[in-house]
Amino acid sequence: MPELPEVETIKLGLSKKIIGQKIKTIRILNPKTFQDSDGKPFDFAQGLHGKVVLNIWRKAKVLGIDLEGNLTLLFHLKMSGQLIYIPSKTDHKSFIGGHPTPEMSGEMPVKSTRVIFEFDDGSKLYFNDQRKFGWIRVVKSSELRDQSFLRKLGPEPLEKGFTWKTLKSSIVNHKSQPVKVAIMDQSVVAGVGNIYASEACFIAGIDPRTKVGELNDLQFKKLHQGIIQSLKAGIKYGGSTKTHFVNAEGKKGYFLDYAFVYGRDQDICKKCGNLIHKIKLGGRGTYFCAHCQH
DNA sequence: TGCCCCCTGCAG
DNA sequence: CTGCAGGGGGCA
């Protein structure tokens, strides 16, 4: 899935477009994608029809859309989810000067489209998800904090409360894990996934295989900085598009052009010129420079 | 604290 | 054909 920077990119793009809009219809092409927390079908006609979008937020890799009537839509994009907003025909012409880009022309829905939200002005929000791991849920806004997956999350790495000491304390019961695996645990830090975990270890100068219990305080400080810097860079370049990720306008992100190690097996380290290596940690592809990381 | 699994599609 | 892919829940 999209990790924190990708979901943040979608959030920033979507909030400009759908806050204040009223939901007209919801078409569910893949019922499994859209379930309430009990796995029962949700009564959309009664529940969401006519509701106005009040706010959009992100927590870890989950995107939330608050609606009128104490309702919140939760989205998890998992590995291949996309949320693409297509303006209504009128807006669309004025927006791009009458020359539709491929992703904005009438190519939606596509084969992987699972759910379509239509707003009162005719614009649409498409939830595409090739692998069908992603989900959408409806919860009461006032009961958000009871959601188990939100309760289990560690600190938000780009918020004030995240310091190297809070990182050290939240990671304390992962001492025997490789550090790269540990920072991908959402209870340690919220929102770090496979790409930015490799990047954070590189920036910190730490070998991703190093056991958490072997890290000293200086390394925790560097790791803390590495997490923050890699995520910020991800947001700056509009996220990482390996295969699926696109922003709310259907456009790719370019972080991987600037990545130090991720996806660069047998390529040259941008810092020292030695070869980047790919290994497997916790079942996931992991990239590092043996010369820069110890 | 490690696997298996949920799926689909693409590269090798 | 096999293996692999931005995730993470459920299980022993």
The helix/strand/coil state of A167 is helix
**Looking at residue A98, what is its pLDDT?**
42
pLDDT on residue A96: 45
- Cis peptide preceding A109, ω within 30 of 0: yes
In this structure, are residues A157 and A171 in contact, taking their beta carbons and an 8 Å threshold? Answer: no
Q: Kindly report the backbone phi and psi dihedral angles of residue A135, in degrees, each rounded to the nearest multiple of 5, phi listed first.
A: -150, 160
A145 CA to C3 C1', in Å?
A: 39
Query: Residues A106-128: what's their mean pLDDT?
Result: 95
Q: Tell which residue, A203, A227, A210, A196, has the closest CA to residue A292.
A: A203
Please tell me which residue lies nearest to nucleotide B4, judged from CA to C1': A283
> A112: which nucleotide lies closest, measuring CA to C1'?
B8
Q: Please state, in angstroms and rounded to a whole number, the distance separating the CA atoms of residues A212 and A136.
A: 34
Nearest-10 crossing angle of helices A217-236, A194-204: 130
* A165 CB-near residues (< 8 Å, 6+ apart): A220
* Contact present, A157 and A120 (Cβ < 8 Å): no
Mean pLDDT for A209-217 is 97
* Amino acid A95 CA to nucleotide B7 C1' distance, rounded Å: 36
Among A55-59, A90-94, A167-171, A176-180, the least confident range = A90-94
Burial tier of A28 (Cβ tally within 10 Å: 0-12, 13-18, 19+): middle
The band of A106, judged by pLDDT with boundaries at 50, 70 and 90, is low
Asked if pLDDT for residue A103 goes beyond 70, the answer is no
Q: Which nucleotides of C are covered by protein (CB under 7 A)?
A: 4-9
- Tokens at A124, concatenated: 């649409």
CA distance A74 to A63: 6
pTM value?
0.94
Residue A107, pLDDT score: 83
Question: Is A188:A224 a contact under the CB 8 Å cutoff?
Answer: no
Round to a whole number and report the distance in Å from the CA of A218 to the C1' of B9: 43
pLDDT digits (tens, 9 = 90+) for A125-142: 999 999 999 999 999 999
Q: Which nucleotide is nearest to A282 (CA to C1')?
A: B2
Residues of A classed as catalytic: 2-3, 61, 284
Report how far apart the first and last C-alpha atoms of chain A are (Å, whole number). Answer: 28
Rounded distance between C-alpha atoms, residue A274 and residue A145, angstroms: 47
Question: How high is the pLDDT of residue A277?
Answer: 96
